[in-house]
Amino acid sequence: MEFLLVLLIGLLYASGTYMMFRRSMVKLLLGLILIGNGANLLIFLVGDINKGNPPVIPRDFSSLQGVYSDPIPQALILTAIVISFGLQAFAIVLLKRVYLVTGTDDLDQLNSDDQDI
């Protein structure tokens, strides 16, 4: 399971990076989303994946017993997902706006302001 996740994370980072190098704005956006998901999965992975061991203190005990899943990474991912959701929503609206204003999807065409180089 861990090994599969490692492969998946690597794939997400690699494909995200590749997509960001493309000139199309939509691909740029997809790249950002893929890399963001890769980072979330990475945090999930470092929290040690073990099935069926919730971090709940059993009755009659005062502390956690045995092996348990670390709850913090899941809280972190939850925060990161919410934040990236907001940012991606903004990025999508921005790209749509840019497309409407400039009439192009090509990042290389976005240089109307570069008169003096």
Partner 1 sequence: MTDPFIILPVLLHLLTAILLIFCWKKVRAQKIISVAGNLVIVLLAFGLWMKVWNLGILTMQGGGWEAPFGITFAADTLSATLMLLTGIAGLAVAIYSCAGITKNRIQFGYFPIVHFLLMGLNGAFLAGDIFNLYVWFEVIIISSFVLMTLGGRKPQLEGAINYVTMNLLASVIFLTAIGILYGLTGSLNMADLSIKIADIENRELVHVTAILFFVGFGIKSAVFPLYFWLPSSYNTPPSAIAAIFGGLLTKVGIYALMRVFTLIYIPDSFLKGVFLFVAGATLVTGALGALGKTDIRRLLSYLIICHIGYMLAGLALYTEQAMTGALFYLFHDIVIKTNLFLIAGLIYKIAGTYKMSELGGIYRRYPKLSLVMAAVFFSLVGIPPLSGFWPKLYLISESLNSGSYILLASILIASFITMYVIAKLWAEVFWKEPMVVTDLKAAGFDALSNFKKQLLVIPVIALTALTLYMGFGAQHIAVLAERISTELFHHQPYIDAVFEPKN
CA–CA distance, 23 with 98 (Å, rounded to integer): 14
Q: Residues near 22 by Cβ (< 8 Å), separated by ≥ 6?
A: 28, 31
Site for partner 1 contains 46 (CB under 8 A): yes
CA–CA distances in Å: residue 61 to residues 5, 53, 58, 72:
34, 16, 6, 21
Distance of CA 2 to the CA centre of its chain: 18
Site for partner 1 contains 60 (CB under 8 A): no
CB 90, min distance to partner 1, A: 6
CB 83, min distance to partner 1, A: 5
The 8-class DSSP code of residue 49 comes to -
CB closer to partner 1, 48 vs 56: 48
* Size, binding site for partner 1 by CB under 8 A: 37
Per the CB < 8 A criterion, the answer to whether 63 and 37 are in contact is no
| Binder of partner 1 out of 14, 76, 85, 106 (CB under 8 A) | 76
CB closer to partner 1, 8 vs 91: 91
CB 46, min distance to partner 1, A: 3
Stretch that binds partner 1, among 32-40, 49-57, 60-68 (CB under 8 A): 32-40
φ, ψ (nearest 5 deg) of residue 30: -60, -40
Site for partner 1 contains 8 (CB under 8 A): no
